[in-house]
């Protein structure tokens, strides 16, 4: 694990990269990294996230800045700008049921070739997807998701990169840490090794490449 400034961390990211961004309506989202990404002017990203938050918060700021070409998410209802760009053909949006999204990310993290789920059978969700019948029940084959970079937010890290999250701010962050080639984590503080109780380590340092000290929220 290496400690970087937010600027140095974002400089590693190339235009057109696939990004997984943690958070749930902005809770558990790395705001400092997102602001730095906007300041860099890089664009054409594919973003995999639970949602696109609000126009003035989290992932929503990337959408408003028109830095994203495609979003894979479970919910865009709180961000009118995401909806506008989708309707006008400026942004490709792939809507995925929330549980299916989590499982696709997990599948990417643990090396599975896909998952079988009954969610979406008989709806528009099944369009273009392979169906599998097991014991007379239909399932959809959902393919795994992986990213070039995961941008995550944790409460604190130790100097080995072990991470602790605050309550529900954990959300999608641990899953995404397994499913990206490079994991960049914004934390509120870095503490000595041993300061985080073993039971409070939600992501082990072996999964973390870079840590950025961000803002306390």
Q: So what's the pLDDT on residue 214? A: 83
Mean pLDDT of 87-98: 96
What is the pLDDT at residue 147? 98
The enclosing domain of 178 has a CATH number of 3.40.1080.10
State the pLDDT at residue 216: 52
Instruction: Answer whether residue 122 is part of any domain.
Output: no
> At residue 18, does pLDDT exceed 70?
yes
Mean pLDDT of the chain: 95
Output the pLDDT for position 75: 94
> Does residue 195 carry a pLDDT above 60?
yes
Reported confidence tier of residue 113, pLDDT bands at 50, 70, 90:
very high
* Average pLDDT estimate for 157-169: 95
Q: What is the pLDDT of residues 49-58, one digit of tens each?
A: 999 999 999 9
Q: Say yes or no to pLDDT of 217 above 60.
A: no
Report the pLDDT averaged over residues 31-35: 96
Q: Is the pLDDT of residue 94 over 90?
A: yes
Output the 3-class SS for 104-125.
HHHHHHHCCCCEEECCCCCCHH
Mean of pLDDT values over 157-174: 95
pLDDT at position 190, please? 96
Residue 18, domain member (yes or no): yes
**Residue 215 pLDDT > 80:** no
Q: Which domain holds residue 27?
A: 2-113+143-213
pLDDT at 1: 82
Indicate the number of domains in the chain.
1
Report the pLDDT value the prediction gives residue 76, as an integer from 0 to 100: 96
Q: Is residue 123 part of a domain?
A: no
Whether 120 is in a domain gets the answer: no
- Whether 162 is covered by a domain: the verdict is yes
Residue 89 lies in a domain: yes
pLDDT of residue 188: 95
130 within domain boundaries:
no
**How much is the pTM?**
0.94
Residue 125 lies inside a defined structural domain of this protein: no
Write down the pLDDT at residue 93.
97
């Amino acid at each position: 694990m290496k400690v970087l400034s937010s600027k140095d961390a974002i400089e590693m990211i190339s235009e057109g990269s696939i990004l997984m961004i943690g958070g749930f309506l902005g809770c558990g989202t790395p705001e400092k990294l997102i602001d730095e990404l906007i300041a860099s002017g890089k664009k054409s990203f594919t973003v995999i996230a639970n949602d696109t938050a609000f126009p003035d918060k989290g992932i929503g700021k990337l959408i408003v800045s028109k830095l994203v070409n495609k979003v894979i998410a479970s919910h865009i209802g709180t961000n009118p700008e995401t909806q506008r760009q989708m309707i006008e053909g400026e942004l490709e949006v792939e809507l995925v049921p929330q549980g299916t999204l989590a499982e696709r990310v997990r599948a990417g993290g643990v090396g599975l070739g896909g998952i079988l789920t009954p969610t979406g059978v008989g709806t528009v969700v099944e369009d273009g997807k392979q169906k599998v019948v097991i014991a007379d029940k239909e399932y959809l084959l959902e393919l795994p998701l992986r990213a070039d970079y995961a941008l995550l937010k944790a409460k604190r890290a130790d100097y080995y990169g072990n991470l602790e999250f605050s309550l529900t701010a954990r959300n999608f962050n641990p899953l995404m840490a397994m499913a990206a080639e490079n994991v960049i984590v914004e934390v509120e503080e870095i503490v000595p090794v041993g300061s985080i109780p073993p039971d409070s380590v939600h992501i082990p340092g072996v999964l973390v490449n870079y840590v950025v000290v961000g803002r306390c929220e």
